[in-house]
Structure 1
Amino acid sequence: MAAMWRVLGAGATTIATVASALALQVPAAGAQPAQPQPSPPGLGPAGTATVHGDAASTDTMPGRGPGVNPAIVSGLTGATCSTVFIGSDDMPVALCTSYIGMNPPTPAAPTVKLFHPDTAEVLAEVQLAKGALLGGVYGYLDDRDRVVVADGNRRLLAVGHERTPEGPWRMTVEVLADLSAAVPEGDAITGLMPAFDGRVWFATSGGVVGTVRTAGGGGGENFDDDDNDHTPRFLTLPAGEKISNGFTVRPGGASVITTRALYEIDTAADGTPTIRWRHGYDVGPGRKPGLLAYGSGTTPTYFGPGNGLIAITDDTEHPDLIVLRQSDGTEVCRMPAFATTLRPDSAAADGVLISGPAASENSILAHPASGDADTTALVLVNTYGFEYPPFAVDGPAVPAGAPYIGGMTRVDVSLDGAGAGADAACSRKWTNTSRTASLPKLTTGDRQIHAMAYGPAAGQSALGSLPEPLPGQEILDHGLAQKVGPVFVTSTDVETGHEVMRTFVGHAPLDEPMELTGTLASRGDAPGVLWQPTMTRMLRIGPA
């Protein structure tokens, strides 16, 4: 098995034209330098310390992508790693879940794994107490290169790494807080983020949102070690509303989306959360195939002047993109989230349509538009029809299944120059049909979007020199938790929506991307290194 993985990794080939190669190396004309998002004290390096890139959940990071002809090195993980972080020491560390039994796959206890920065070999790992699936997904890296994560015993942990006197690496575990007073038995912590006041935000799948001052650090530089009150402060959202996505933080508060509404939450002086406003959204008849729960699949994204705007999608039959003011929850613009054959009136000038229904389980990527300080580009990815493992979803899908068509789209949000309190206009700039299968990340140095992707679906035209879909592909693409066929790493120009790089990395189901979250280690003006997990491997994609 290990030999086969080496063959798959060593056989990488790049499909790109000379023009694409040149395009990847040159930023778009007129591009404006992106202003870095404010970062809470205690958070690790910009771009690589959170699931969604930064505290505002923009899924952007500094530096450049892996280049047009990246080398691929891989290591077997013995698990599926949901999220990768990179600290100030350049050591990749991941939150992973191993499996016992395969019919159906059953999640075992989560682990934190440390990887060699050159070979992707697992150097050390530690197993945590078993909890809910998302307890091993959402966490962050603090400014001491420790993974802050919750375990199944409702404790907040800081998992670090260090060399032993003999030379090998080992993991360290420190308990930062006991959250059992706020988290009911049977509930699970699904969201974590440092607060701007030195505390730590947490959220649970059952609808508890709170903050805690941690013991021994883990929050920020404002932590007062003489303050021995580590009691969590929390509120419980209305019954029946679950939290299945991450949340987004700002100075003084956070934005939390449940399966029925978006909440803007402030904090009192002692850290107690208080609801400033609630914005309910419409839902369809049940959980869509390609979403994890019955409700919106988007983590809220802050953007615009002073992060004064918030972007989400609703959960109607044909979901809308909704942009609201952070100050009061009023809508500033709304439009169909995707241009589809069912909503052809929403097509961009390119006329490209996604075939059939569309919806998104991914957060919305946000980055200032090129050459226009008053416009932000939002990028949404269609996950409708993507089949997650049975243990990961909340209830049956309606309909029970659908082909995974994919597709990505850019919507520009333009203000009138008066700031986040001004009126805004939403307009679609492009749509493509790339079958993205991981959480995309945008690098600001080259304005490229990087992700894993499948080949074309049945009925789609092959992209460039890619092979046509396999015979019977419509069966393979419908109703299987893991696809069958080639898997690629791709880079897409955010200005045009066109792929500028597509490199073969392996075959699903063994290299199924599973909508997992990678990260990208910046090397300044040189190509960076993309760290991307698949179902069985950790991939190091970039210059040697």
Structure 2
Amino acid sequence: MRAPLLLALPLLGLLSACSEPYDPQPLASTGNATALIGSATVPRPLSGAIPANPFMASNGSSYMHADGYSSDSHPGPGPLGGDMQVSSRDGSRKPGGMCPIHTFDQQGRLVVLCANLMQFELQLLEPRTLKLLARYPLPPRPSTFHALITLDPDKIMADTSGAYFYVDEQNRVVIADAEQHIQRVVHRQDQSGAWSFEEVDNWDLSDKVPHDCVRPTSWFPKGECDPITGVMPDHQGLIWWITRRGRIGTLNPNTGKVQGIQLANEEIQNGMSVAADGVYLVSDHAMYRFAADADGKPVQGWREVYDRGTGRKVGAINQGSGTTPTLLGERYVTITDNSDGRINLLVYRREQDYAGNRLICKLPVFDNNASATDNSAIGWGRSIILENNAGYTSAFAQKDWQAVHGGISRIDIRTDESGCDRVWESKERSPSVVPKLSVSNGLLYFYTFEPQPDGENAWYLMALDFDSGQTRFKALSGVGQAFDNNWSPITLAPDGTAYVGTFGGLVALWDKGVNAVNEPPRFSEKQTNRVPE
């Protein structure tokens, strides 16, 4: 999936000397639009749960894609469209910017990654009010300086480094920074009530990962620059890391030992997914399963080559799959390829010792020559939900909105594993969001737009029914470019609030009368470990 913090923001207007206000200023909506299209709906809960990763925070709170499976499903609720409330935070002041990646601490506060052209930082925010409680600056990425000297913001758009961080079981953020370090960061409140972030661990991986990158002291480096894309813990407690140029490794947080290998002539631009049986990732050539040997070194289990097409598609990061692998149950993993004409949904058997054809199905999706996705699929039980991103580039570069073709599909794996079937297809448009599923109410959440008479777009949180694919409602987020989500995810908080990172900052939407909670939903051990079939 496209790392949405890559905020290819315009090169002008981002370098003001203002500081980030603690009390948020709302985003300015540039026009009037219908507040709710459709009507409020009722919850239709789904059964089952995703197995928990013992080294990550609660499912739905810990990771961009919700959990170690990258299921993009949240165990808690989402808005039902009942008298929707909206708040927003204008991030246009330095060093605020767009806040695209959202996680939550044990009390439901937001731990978000925010960025503008020059700086990245962690922020701690109050639920719904979006009041800033604490901030933690991170080093600027090399792509920032590269974009400046080339005047090419695509250098930022194509950079996924640092996007895939997680919150661990002790409420600490684990993140790879732009200096090839993995940091572990905790937030605390002092006796006066003030919050702050504090680094508690820092591991230097620069001897394993080349870092001769563009920077103010070296504008034209000669060596290799290979930023760390993301980190994820396996079920034994090793922290796995991946880089753009195909390096894969582990960090033992108890000993500090680092191990690594490299895929020859392959790139990794999506996140990892982890189950008890292994680590799954996709390069721009193939789908992989890995495990660590007794010394912690990554060992390839199996490799499946897919059709990578003949070039990079509009809005895509590279010539390859745009999806982080999504795990389903104990047996399946799914991605899409990058085939010309129409991309294909691919479903593989995960078992290491499987002797037959590992590919269960290869199903073309969306319209010919208008088929692309750069976002992870939702996976629940035997069902896979995909959106079509064909025709969208970015919030600042998009000119032709008719080129955004749209399409959302649900595909189910047959119980006899003889293939996959298309259950429904919606023509709704969701240009670039990472969609999410609420297990508590059976709604799928997307982000769409409606053109207005003055030429602006009104942006809406959109809910589709999981079973039928019917659109239940569209709740207005705001009007104008500032409300374009620009490849950010939707994230469902434990209290049912939906958060969307936008080009201008961050938006929260929730049902009136639903109170914010201090504790996330709790699940019994049986529920947490049960796999939907």
Question: Which category describes the TM-score, using the shorter chain as reference length?
Answer: 0.7 to 0.9
Which aligned pairs between 1:441-520 and structure 2 lie closer than 5 A? 441-455=436-450, 470=453, 484-520=456-492
| Residues 1:197 and 1:508: Cα distance change in structure 2 (over 3 Å) | same
CA separation in 2, counterparts of 1:336 and 1:191?
29
Find 1:232's aligned residue among 242, 258, 263.
258
Matched, 1:426 2:426: no
Residue 75 in structure 1 maps to residue 47 in structure 2:
no
Per the alignment, residue 240 of structure 2 pairs with 201
Q: Which amino acid aligns with 2:206?
A: S
Correspondence 1:149-188 to 2 at 5 A? 149-185=175-211, 186-188=225-227
Match 1:290 to one of 295, 315, 319: 315
TM-score with structure 2 setting the length: 0.79
Picking from 297, 322, 325, the partner of 2:346 is 322
Q: Is residue 532 from structure 1 mapped to residue 500 from structure 2 by the alignment?
A: yes
Q: Given the superposition, is the C-alpha separation of residues 3 and 530 from structure 1 closer, same or farther in structure 2, using an over 3 Å criterion? A: closer
Give the Cα separation in 2 of the matches to 1:6 and 1:426: 43
The equivalent position to 1:440 in structure 2, one of 392, 412, 435, is 435
For 1:140 and 1:383, the matched residues in 2 are separated by 25
1:310-354 deviation per Cα after TM superposition (whole angstroms, max 9, x unaligned): 11111111111111111247111111022x2x3xxxxxxxxxxxx
Q: Which residue of 2 aligns with 1:110?
A: 120
Deviation at 1:146, TM superposition (A): 2.0
Tell me, in whole angstroms, the C-alpha distance in 2 between the residues paired with 1:64 and 1:13: 24
CA 1:276–1:494 in 2, change beyond 3 Å: closer, same or farther? Answer: same
* Contact 1:244 1:292 (8 Å CA) reproduced: yes
Q: 1:486 to 1:11 in 2, by over 3 A?
A: closer
Equivalent pair of 2:162/2:228 in contact (CA under 8 Å): no
Displacement of 1:250 in angstroms is 1.6
Q: What count of residue pairs does the alignment treat as equivalent?
A: 450
Distance change >3 Å, CA 197–CA 515, structure 1 → 2: same
Q: Deviations over 1:237-256 (max 9, x none)?
A: 112x1001111112242111
Secondary structure of the structure 2 residue equivalent to 1:510: helix
Match of 1:311 in 2: 334
Q: 1:181 to 1:37 in 2, by over 3 A?
A: farther
Match of 1:358 among 352, 371, 389: 371
After TM superposition, give the deviation of residue 503 of structure 1 in Å.
1.0
**Letter aligned with residue 249 of structure 1:** V
Task: Tell me by how many angstroms 1:470 deviates.
Answer: 4.6
Q: Which residue of 56, 61, 66 corresponds with 1:48? A: 61
2:335 alignment partner AA? I
CA distance in structure 2 between the aligned counterparts of 1:247 and 1:12, rounded to whole angstroms:
39
Q: 2:43 maps to which residue?
A: 26
Partner AA of 2:198 in structure 1: T
Aligned partners of 2:386, 2:30: CA distance in 1, in Å? Answer: 29
Which of 1 and 2 has higher RCO (CA within 8 Å, sep 6+)? 2
1:218-257 correspondence runs (5 A)? 228=255, 230-239=256-265, 241-257=266-282
Identity within the alignment, %: 27
Residue ranges of structure 1 left out of the alignment (5+ in a row): 100-107, 216-227, 343-355, 369-375, 392-396, 417-422, 457-468, 474-483
Change (3 A) 1:9 1:213: farther
**Structure 2 segments unaligned to the other structure (5+ residues):** 1-20, 144-158, 212-224, 516-533
TM value normalised by structure 1? 0.77
Distance of 1:270 and 1:250 partners within structure 2: 19
CA distance in 2, matches of 1:303, 1:453: 27
Contact preservation (8 Å) 1:14, 1:501 = no
Tell me: CA distance 1:533–1:264, structure 2 relative to 1, closer, same or farther (3 Å).
same
User: In the TM superposition, what whole-angstrom CA distance separates every residue of 1:401-441 from its partner, at most 9, and x where no partner exists?
Assistant: 9811222111111122xxxxxx3321111111222131111
| CA deviation after TM superposition for structure 1 residue 4, in Å | 8.6
What residue number does 1:59 align with? 72
Displacement after TM superposition at 1:386 (Å): 1.2
